A = this chain, B = another copy of it.
Amino acid sequence: MYDIIIIGAGPGGYEMAERAGHKGLKVLLIEKQYLGGVCLNWGCIPTKTLLNAAKHYVQAQEAEDFGVTTGEIGFDFSKIMARKTEVIQTLRAGIAAMMKKNQVEVLFGVAKLIGPRKVEVDGVTYEGENVVIAVGGSPIVPPIPGVDQPHVMTSKEILSIEEMPESLAVIGGGVIGIEFASFFSSLGVKVEVIEMLDEIIPFMDDEQVAQFRRVLKRKVKFNLGCRVTEIDGHIVKFTTKSGEEKAISADVVLMAVGRKPNLEGMGFEEAGLEFDRRGIRTDDQQRTNLPNVYAIGDVTGKSQLAHSATRMGEVALNTILGREDRFRTNAIPWAVYSLPEVAGCGLTQREAKAAGINVKTASLPLTMSGRFLAENGKRGPGSVKVVIDADTNLLLGVHMFGAYSSEIIWGAAAMIESGLRVQDAQEIVFPHPTVGEVIRSAMFQF
């Protein structure tokens, strides 16, 4: 009898296993393929490794502006891809070591839930006081004629291509689509994005996303408000907002229209689990409707972010241990690792208005920062927007794009989670000169 059986070793499952093991619980972690799940093997980590190569490539091209001379700048696509594989393997080994260190038992195989405390793998039944479902999600492949062709790929297959395409059509302008568009276009691939909505990255601040898209447009062509109707060989056909029929040709087509929870083939329905429109239904403590069965991460559909999965695992563990906790979504930061980066935390102006809040905002360009100017020049794009409740002065959101955004944003989570008002936030000191300081300057605009 285990204290906890965790199904799925992504950032939800393996982090929860680590923390539970660290506390001395007897943990079984079941994984069907690779430690690290989608995040490590086909998601966050490989894409960031590729984008880092693209950043080196672009920065080497720009080095002359800073007084550095180079020969001709090029790249070796197979070496970029090989490095990605190496990083994945190093981190996988790291997780295995971490599981061992925290005495987590790891079992490879496909799990089936056969009751509130029972899980079957390869005909063997394992019993646990608690069962945690952390089986993640998969790319959605819409039923468009032609999607079955080998050059039509999801984010999973495109990470294993051996040759760089000359042209790429990205269907979907969300985070995944934009990161791949940024990577390939930075290397010189002809990239077009086709997005059904009128704007990319739907949760971004309205003003910032328009500025951001203007920067990406230097290298990427956007077709917004367009619906793909067919992929005929290498021809992607789509209908524009005004009803016009258009077509583009692309060596590779990336399907990045969204992700869905993995709900099939693991006995969830048969065991009596209830679902909502997003995935397995859970409460704020990550409990499902079945006693002692928890669900965390993408399979709940609550938030499709690796760090949300980790946090849900912590909430589930605290709940199991009888410690009060709750999965809150008001201060979960997110980042897009494109060139330039984008990040945000908390409510956007639009979301706050929609919630009926009397909103005030302050925006500043990142060129306010001496460091930003030194490192990017006057034309470097970037900005910060701070969103507050005008009635209470409570800090509701911080949104930014430009260099270092992904590493800066967590401080906003610390401020929002601590319930700071503008006047409190003004007393937080930032080191000078940093890009992050622009957040502080924005606080003084109110």
Query: What residues on B are CB-neighbors of A311 within 8 Å?
Result: 427, 429
A431, CB-defined interface residue at 8 Å: yes
A409, CB-defined interface residue at 8 Å: yes
Q: A444 contacts which of B19, B44, B60, B428 (Cβ < 8 Å)? A: B19
Contact mask for chain A residues 57-80; partner B; CB cutoff 8 A; 1 contact, 0 none: 101101101111111111111011
Contact A410 B427 (CB under 8 A): no
Bound Cα distance from A436 to B418, whole angstroms:
18
Q: A310 contacts which of B75, B333, B432 (Cβ < 8 Å)? A: B432
Bound Cα distance from A73 to B72, whole angstroms:
10
Between-chain CB contacts (< 8 Å), 23 pairs: A40-B370, A44-B370, A44-B432, A45-B370, A52-B374, A67-B80, A67-B83, A70-B71, A70-B73, A71-B73, A306-B433, A307-B429, A307-B430, A311-B427, A331-B428, A333-B429, A333-B430, A334-B431, A409-B431, A410-B428, A411-B413, A413-B429, A418-B424
Contact A417 B407 (CB under 8 A): no
- Which chain B residue lies CB-closest to A374? B49
Contact B435 A407 (CB under 8 A): yes
Contact A429 B308 (CB under 8 A): yes
Which residues of A (289-344) have their CB < 8 Å from a CB of B?
305-308, 310-311, 314, 325, 331-335, 343
Query: What residues on B are CB-neighbors of A425 within 8 Å?
Result: 414
Bound Cα distance from A345 to B53, whole angstroms:
32
Q: A67 contacts which of B71, B72, B79, B374 (Cβ < 8 Å)? A: B79
Contact A307 B74 (CB under 8 A): no
Bound Cα distance from A87 to B428, whole angstroms:
27
The A interface is mostly helix, strand or loop, or mixed, namely helix
- Residue from A68, A82, A94, A373 whose CB has the most chain B CB atoms within 10 Å: A68
A379 to chain B, nearest CB (A): 12
Query: What residues on B are CB-neighbors of A60 within 8 Å?
Result: 59-60, 63, 68, 70
A378, CB-defined interface residue at 8 Å: yes
- Which chain B residue lies CB-closest to A334? B431
Contact A370 B91 (CB under 8 A): yes
Query: What residues on B are CB-neighbors of A437 within 8 Å?
Result: 307
A56, CB-defined interface residue at 8 Å: yes
With A52-B374, A76-B67 known as contacts, the answer to whether A414 contacts B409 (CB < 8 A) is no
With A307-B429, A370-B40, A374-B49 known as contacts, the answer to whether A410 contacts B408 (CB < 8 A) is yes
Contact A87 B331 (CB under 8 A): no
Query: What residues on B are CB-neighbors of A126 within 8 Å?
Result: none
A206, CB-defined interface residue at 8 Å: no
A102 to chain B, nearest CB (A): 11
Contact A426 B56 (CB under 8 A): no
- The number of times this chain is found in the oligomer is 2
Contact B306 A432 (CB under 8 A): yes
| Chain A residues bordering chain B, tally (CB within 8 A) | 87
A371, CB-defined interface residue at 8 Å: yes
Contact A432 B374 (CB under 8 A): no
Which residues of A (1-35) have their CB < 8 Å from a CB of B?
11, 19, 22
Bound Cα distance from A353 to B45, whole angstroms:
39
Query: What residues on B are CB-neighbors of A71 within 8 Å?
Result: 70-73
Q: A373 contacts which of B87, B407, B418, B431 (Cβ < 8 Å)? A: B87
With A45-B374, A67-B75, A70-B72 known as contacts, the answer to whether A335 contacts B406 (CB < 8 A) is no
A415, CB-defined interface residue at 8 Å: yes
A155 to chain B, nearest CB (A): 16
With A73-B70, A370-B40, A373-B87 known as contacts, the answer to whether A430 contacts B418 (CB < 8 A) is no
Bound Cα distance from A91 to B332, whole angstroms:
34
Query: What residues on B are CB-neighbors of A410 within 8 Å?
Result: 408, 411, 428-431, 434, 436
Which residues of A (388-416) have their CB < 8 Å from a CB of B?
404, 406-411, 413-415
A304 to chain B, nearest CB (A): 12
Contact A56 B66 (CB under 8 A): yes
A90, CB-defined interface residue at 8 Å: yes
Contact B431 A406 (CB under 8 A): yes
A48, CB-defined interface residue at 8 Å: yes
Query: What residues on B are CB-neighbors of A368 within 8 Å?
Result: 94
Q: A414 contacts which of B79, B307, B411, B435 (Cβ < 8 Å)? A: B411
Contact A67 B48 (CB under 8 A): no
